[in-house]
Structure 1
Amino acid sequence: MQAVWCSWRHGGRAALLAGSALAAVSAMPAAAQTSTDLPIRRPGMVAPVLPEDLPKIAPIRPPPPGPDDLGQNGFYIEADNLIRDDKNNIWIARGEVEARYQGHVIRGDEVIYRVGPGTVTVNGHGQLINPNGTVLMADHLTLDDKLRAGFARGFSTIEPHNIRFAADVAIRRSTEVNELDRAVFTPCNVCASDGRSVTPTWSIQASKVIEDHTKHIVYYRNAVIQVKGIPVLYAPVFWHPDPEAKRVSGLLMPEAEISKDRGFSYQQSYYWAISPSQELYITPQINTKVNPLLDMEYRERFYSGQIDIRGGYTYEQDFNSNGHRFGDLTSRSYILADGSFNLNNYWSWGFTADRASDRYIFQKYDVQNVYEYQSQYTALSQQLLSQIHATRQDVNSYLSISTLSFQGLSSSDINGTYPLVAPLVEAHYEPRGAILGGRLQMTASGVLLNQSLQLNPTSVSPTDLTEPGIDSRRATGEINWLRTFILGNGMRLDPFLDVREDFYDVNDRAAPGGFKTYGRNVSNLGLDFSWPFMRQSGGATVVLEPLAQLLIAPQADNNPNIPNEDSQAFNFDETNLFSINRFAGYDLVDGGERLNLAGRATVDWGDGENAQLMIGKVLRAHPLAPVVQPLAGRTSIYPVNTGLNATSSDWVVAANTTPFPGVSFFGRGLLNNNANIESQEYGVDLAYDNARGYLRYDSDNTQPGGRISNIEAAGDFFVTEHWGFSLVGVRDLEVQEWRLQDLGLIYRNECIRVEVVYQQQGTINGALGKSDAVYLRLTLATLGGQRNNDDDFR
């Protein structure tokens, strides 16, 4: 077959002016062709083929023809010579021929139209450009008068998404089926910037190719997959989804990994497009050291919502990070399911059902994307959460009713100490219109907790770590009123009143007396103050803003007999400096007269370039009273090294800046009154085409367990157009150990991405100690990538 060129010849108006003929006649009808929507990533089936001397690939696609104003039946043709043979009923156009009809363009050295049989023959440098921009080229091209069927020699085509086919012979049997002999397929570039032909990165060559757009499949016979022109895989029969199809069943790209615990691991996903609204992933993982794992995921979309159910199963002993097996041979499985549905314009409901029979199964089998919750409530890392919730929401009210159940996965977790939450009720109402000139909000909340076990604070041996748990009920009612005044000099005053009542019923089955009832009032009368000063300076907008919040409230009533379930985690920073109650939940409260102060400076240079600095602290009239009994592992309400329990807190400092697009910095910290740093966090984010990543450093001395110091970095960086590297690193600076190390080598171009990654896990969890692994990530344009790979060429 004659090689196809890497640029197309465009016969133009100059040929017409030099002596072409122009005719507007009644011509053959053309079949309408429409382009499909942009497809999502689809599976590619690996079963590849081996001929030789295959054709070159077609050139880049010219732009689609523009409007020709010819009307429905108008026909335009220009050429150096035009012959009308009425005797033989033939039209012949020679020399730089270009014909247009209903958005189609035909070009060639010679075009012959036989009126009787209704055929169009193009000889020499033939091109057919369809209205959707698809380009067909051939040395010889014969089409019927409807452009639905035809025959070509020396054929090539450029389809949407940079897909190229070339063949010695092409037969178009209908608008849905094309048959190619001695053909090649590739989505890769085959032309250099200077017009030279280049070998594609990868291609599929075959003795015969059939494009079946009805079944959305491309079939190959005697297929061979070539990488840079070198055959790497042969199969007598091979097929993959039609690149124009949105969803087609088939195999995804496989994933290979070598690790100490599982040996060589091969993971192959099969994608089943059950219906337009249903799909199923079936992913067996084959390992050389341990038994296989079967992973499945089912997804369905309804008119009112969606469900996603994922599960895995294996039958195996326990094993450690070196692949040493021990213990009983038993079933091990997990399920991760979630769903959400709209019942009507106001009511919706949803659920998650997450459980694992082996708490280490996700680490052992490298199961990805475990803790990505999309539901109403989320759990911490290394926790699974099952829930069911119903919600009603309109313009001025909100109601939520939920049930929650937790499972801890770390080696230190005792699951009996996690309470069953059944139910949790939250309601919010905001009347329309102003109340006393301001906004009124009413909130109600209630929860019932059932805890089978609690940690024994007097434990001296592993046999008495726990004791009977605590059952508790809480009911809370809260009213909040806020009004805003903006004075003529720009000063803003926001007086507010917040009144809250809590009622607790507590049954501590390990304590004498058992069932007890507690009540408390948590009320705050306050005023928010801000006075921004703005100035234009050197092309920048500068805003200086003093901030203050005055609160008058009774002393905090934190009864040590009330279990702390929803306020255990706490960090003091700029996000909660002006919060009435800095705790996330209801069980712990702040109180007393206090003054929150801060100053904020902002500079905005436009185009997303800005900087901000904020400094503040909390002043109290009286220190917070110590807790008589240990509460959540501490004897004070707030962590000791924040200063929040005293009359003067630590200084809160926070800054961030985006000096130019693509780069941003941030920092925050706590400085005590002796200028010692109690906590600090710094970071930088990069977002460029060839460099994306982040760097973080944090050190925290405010938590009960002692100082925590870590440095973390991750990113992809390309040193050339095609070659780059990836890295992920987490280092514990207190013990001077790496918790995680990833280093990868990346190659990418317009049609492929290959990443080889070395990973070292340094976290010890149960029998799983440090581990090493090497794995391969591969994504091919039009054939898709691995199931958990985010790279997509579409």
Structure 2
Amino acid sequence: MRGAAAICLLVLVMALARPGAATAQAGTGTDAPPPPAVLVADDVYMEGNERLVATGNVEALYDGTRLQAEGIIYDRAEDKLILSGPIVIHEGGESVILASSGEMDKDLRAGILRGARIVMGDHVQLAAQELNRSAGRYNQLVKVSVTSCRVCETGRPPLWQIRARRVIHDQEEKQLYFEDAQFRVMDTPIFYLPRLRLPDPSLERSTGFLVPSLYNSSLLGTGLRVPYFIRIGDHKDLTVTPFITSKSSTLELRYRQAFRNGRIEFEGAISDDNLGSRSRRGYIFGEGEFTVLGDYTLRFDIETVNDDTYLLDYSYYEKDRLDSELEIERAKRDSYVRGAITYFHSLRVGEQNSTLPTLVTNAEWERRIHPNWAGGGEIRLGMLAHSHIRSSGLISDGPDIDVWADGRDVGRMTVSADWLRNWTLPGGVLAHVRTGVAIDHFEIRQAGLTSLSEATEVSPTVELELRWPLLNAGNGRATHVVEPIVQFSWVGGSNPFIPNDESTRIEFDEGNLFSTSRFTAPDRRERGMIAAYGVSWTRFDPTGLQTSLAMGQLVRDEIQLETNGLDSFTSSSGLNGKVSDVLVAGQVKTGNGLVLTARGLFDDTFNTTKAEARASWQNSLASLSATYIWLGRDLAESRATTISEWAFDASYRLSRHWTGSANWRYDVASDDSVRAGLGVTYTNECVEVRLAASRRFTSSTILAPSTDISLTVGLRGFTTKTSDKSYVRSCNN
């Protein structure tokens, strides 16, 4: 009966509601036929010749709109639908309209709904005494209450709501316009706005205010940060944020734009205060990335500030060396090319930018060839070019903090050619052979007596590496992989009499244990015969537990000496002398999210040279991470005292709605805290409140310790997404 009634009703509605449709189509030949309407009901009958009545589980579908009601009466004389509720109207999956009764035109684009409620994005609700719908675009609501909080049938008001005399919802522009609006918390009026505009939840970007925050700092005083977002177009926007405190006035800016072939983003601020060396302080950071010339990637990065302590005073960034760079790069399967110009600026106390290499250029090209005559091997051709320039014109040599520090400029070029080949030997031993030659040329200006003005060195290389992976696996049992590795290499030539500007800090780890040189740049190379050996063990358990351990060491036939007779490697690098320290590294991963990682260097008496460890654990309720580093005293690396530090970072979901967080950085060597912070966040389906406090304990001649406290309140549903349903309150509680 329901199907027969649906067909009967469909025929009647098409005949009664659209008598001129066929004539219009035949008369003009241009008007598209109207989309068909589909109505389904339990019972259908006629009242006279003008009224068609459908009752019982009525559904109407027309042009993407689905209407459900207990009853529908179509009045042909007035050309309207009379609806009896409960009424539910679904519009394209973005919003749902609920009502008790109403009247609408036959296209469902205009009409009046009484006792109406609109639900947007499954969380924002607009409850009104009456809803007037027009042109299928505008919904005008009278005597409205708007909230994204869960509303239960207990009579209790929502946590927050906006009461308004009238609200107009523009469905095309996705905007809500309020008249005579009151913002209420627990039904208590907080403030009044004669006009208010808010985006509906389906709109991703719209001009308007973002979440404000209260701020208190021992340096800046008490203030308010109010960001205002300006949508310039579909692909660009500007955020203007006035930040006013009792001791400063700041204007923060952020500009973003997306292009067909790339993007740019700039941010900055300008402040008027009396905290620094000048009254007007500011910074600009910017970055961008573009695809150019078909398959090249062009990147730029700008970082500049006019006061050394500005970034830390306002908690923008903790960088103490800024770098601005312009780079172009292309990477393919068998070729790579890159060029970059970088400008460095130091904010550190005691460093003079005039005697630091502030302008640095790099160019790199590499090509892989797979010729048949190479016996299945591979040929690699490469070229490197580098230069760094100091602005100082001084020639005398000295430490950077000295007035008479040098101003030498260095340029180098390296051309290399290598042949590589892999074999699988009997027993599963993997053999790797590499041989080649590199030519390094250096040009030094303002060198004085510290080095030659130019030098060229030829460095032939031969390398043999053997790996023997061994696997022990069984059904349902843990899998063990043991791999002993040994490498023999020889590098000819000698390090010329040139300054060491690039390879001053060397890290010895698993990544370069089996390299022919541990130096970070070709201004230094390890020479002579070198043997590297090590072993790695990895265990995979079906329960998710994974354990790995690696050990290795280097042995040379000669000490890597500088022209002044000193070892090229510092004592804390673990690489000085003929025999290196023992490198030990391990990691443990469990199936419940715990990860432990540690690495250390140990000398021949098993004393620690360097050590670091990190532990992290994360699940649905908590996250915890801890890091420890230990670096011994080494004047050659400008480290007058031992560094021993702990860093902790943790968060824990205390309950359904409360989350706590904490961080702490502690200097064990000096027995002082470096930085600490605490935070607590309350989150439910309609609001997020975060209170955070942090303390920076470090100080210098230009930097003072500071304490910062911030409070941020965000209305979820309008300003933030609520995809995480675990915060939604239950009406049973």
Counterpart residue identity of residue 25, structure 1: L
Query: What's 2:320 paired with?
Result: 382
293 and 562 in structure 1: CA distance in 2 versus 1, 3 angstrom threshold: farther
1:318–1:532 Cα change, 3 Å: same
* Residue 429 (structure 2) aligned to one of 491, 497, 515: 491
Return the letter of the residue paired with 2:390.
Q
For the pair 1:78 / 2:63, whether they are aligned, the reply is: no
Matched, 1:772 2:729: no
- Residue 92 of structure 1, aligned match among 53, 72, 78: 53
- Shift of the 166–364 alpha-carbon distance from structure 1 to 2, 3 Å rule, reads same
Residues of 2 paired with 1:658 and 1:143: CA distance? 63
Deviation at 1:21, TM superposition (A): 8.1
Asked if structure 2 preserves the Cα contact closer than 8 Å seen for 1:740 and 1:759, the reply is: yes
SS in 2 for 1:349: strand
**Equivalent pair of 1:627/1:636 in contact (CA under 8 Å):** no
Q: Which amino acid aligns with 1:307?
A: I
Residue 464 of structure 2 corresponds to residue 527 of structure 1: yes
Cα contact 2:451–2:498 (8 A) shared by 1:
no
Separation (CA, whole Å) in 2 of partners of 1:571 and 1:360: 30
> How far did 1:133 drift?
6.2
1:272-283 mapped onto 2 (5 Å cutoff): 272-283=230-241
Counterpart of 1:26 (choices 11, 16, 28) is 11
Change over 3 Å in CA distance of 1:415–1:642 after alignment to 2: closer
**Which structure 2 segments of 5+ residues have no match?**
15-33, 722-726, 728-733
Cα deviation digits, residues 653-702 of structure 1 (max 9, x gap): 11112211432221111122212222222222233232234111121227
Once the two structures are TM-superposed, the CA of residue 457 in structure 1 deviates from its matched residue by 6.4
Question: Comparing 775-784 with 523-532, which one deviates more in the overlay?
Answer: 775-784
The Cα of 1:207 is off from its aligned counterpart by 1.5
**Displacement, 1:330?**
4.0
Query: Do structure 1's residue 743 and structure 2's residue 678 form an aligned pair?
Result: yes
Q: Distance in 2 between matches of 1:729 and 1:658?
A: 24
1:709 and 1:571 map into 2 onto residues whose CA distance is: 17
**Aligned runs of 1:194-205 on 2, under 5 Å?**
199-205=157-163
Which residue of 1 is the match for residue 310 of structure 2?
361
SS in structure 2 of the partner of residue 489 of structure 1: helix
Partner amino acid, structure 1, of 2:679: G
Q: Secondary structure at the match of 1:358?
A: coil
Contact residue 642 and residue 649 of structure 1 kept, 8 A = no
What residue ranges of structure 1 are gaps of 5+ in the alignment? 1-12, 30-70, 320-326, 371-380, 630-634, 787-792
Partner residue, 1:146? 107
| Code of the aligned partner of 1:439 | E
The match for 1:672 among 589, 603, 610 is 603
One of 266, 272, 276 as aligned partner of 2:224: 266
* Partner SS state of residue 244, structure 1: coil
Matched residues in 2 for 1:662 and 1:28: separation? 62
Q: CA deviation at 1:506?
A: 1.4
Which of 487, 491, 511 is the equivalent residue of 1:575?
Answer: 511
Find out whether 1:547 has 2:485 as its counterpart.
yes
Q: Secondary structure at the match of 1:593?
A: strand
Q: Does the Cα contact within 8 Å between 2:451 and 2:499 map onto a contact in 1?
A: no
Match in the other structure for 2:389: 450
Mapping for residues 551-566 of structure 1, pairs under 5 Å? 551-554=489-492, 557-559=494-496, 561-566=497-502
Q: Which amino acid aligns with 2:583?
A: V
Which residue type is aligned with residue 269 of structure 2? Answer: G
1:684-742 deviation line (CA, Å, top 9, x unaligned): 22332322341111212275314211111113211211111111111111111111101
The 2-side partners of 1:763 and 1:232 are apart by 41
Aligned to 2:334: 396
> What is the aligned-residue RMSD (CA, Å)?
3.0
**Residues 463 and 516 of structure 2 are in contact (CA less than 8 Å); yes or no, is this contact kept in structure 1?**
no
State the distance in 1 between where 2:126 and 2:604 align.
Answer: 73
For the residue of structure 2 that corresponds to 1:25, the secondary structure is helix
Distance in 2 between the 1:181 and 1:427 partners? Answer: 69
Change (3 A) 1:197 1:91: farther
Are 2:710 and 1:710 aligned?
no
Q: Deviations over 1:582-609 (max 9, x none)?
A: 2222223222212111111112235864
Identity, % of aligned positions: 24
| 1:234-253 correspondence runs (5 A) | 234-253=192-211
Q: 1:517 aligns with which of 438, 441, 454?
A: 454
Q: How does 1:366-445 map to 2 (within 5 A)?
A: 366-368=315-317, 381-421=319-359, 423-433=361-371, 435-445=374-384
User: How many residues end up aligned between the 2 structures?
Assistant: 697
Tell me by how many angstroms 1:472 deviates: 1.6
TM-aligned CA distance change 1:757 to 1:513, over 3 Å: closer
Counterpart pick for 1:347 among 281, 296, 301: 296
Q: TM-score, normalised by structure 1?
A: 0.81
What's the CA shift string for 1:498-537, capped at 9, x where partnerless?
A: 422211111235x249862122233321112111111224
The one-letter code matched in structure 2 to 1:274 is I
Tell me which residue corresponds to 1:41: none
Structure 1: distance between partners of 2:298 and 2:688: 40
- In structure 2, the residue matched to 1:134 is 95
Task: Give the equivalent residue in structure 1 for 2:261.
Answer: 304
Aligned to 2:311, what secondary structure does the other structure show? Answer: helix
Alpha-carbon separation, structure 2, partners of 1:114 and 1:349: 66
TM-score normalised by structure 2 residue count: 0.88
Call closer, same or farther: CA 1:129–1:567 in 2, change over 3 Å. same
Among candidates 679, 695, 704, match of residue 760 of structure 1:
695
Which residue in 2 is equivalent to 1:313? 270
* In 2: Cα distance, 1:458 partner to 1:133 partner: 69
CA-to-partner distance for each residue in 1:190-226, whole Å, 9 max, x for gaps? Answer: 34xxx86765443322121111234442111222223
- Describe the shift of the 1:626–1:467 C-alpha distance in structure 2 as closer, same or farther (beyond 3 A): closer
> Per chain length, whose mean CA-contact separation is higher, i.e. which structure has more relative contact order (CA < 8 Å, sep 6+)?
1
| Contact 2:370–2:377 (Cα < 8 Å) also in 1 | no
Letter of the 1:309 partner, please give it.
F
Residue 178 (str. 1) matches residue 121 (str. 2): no
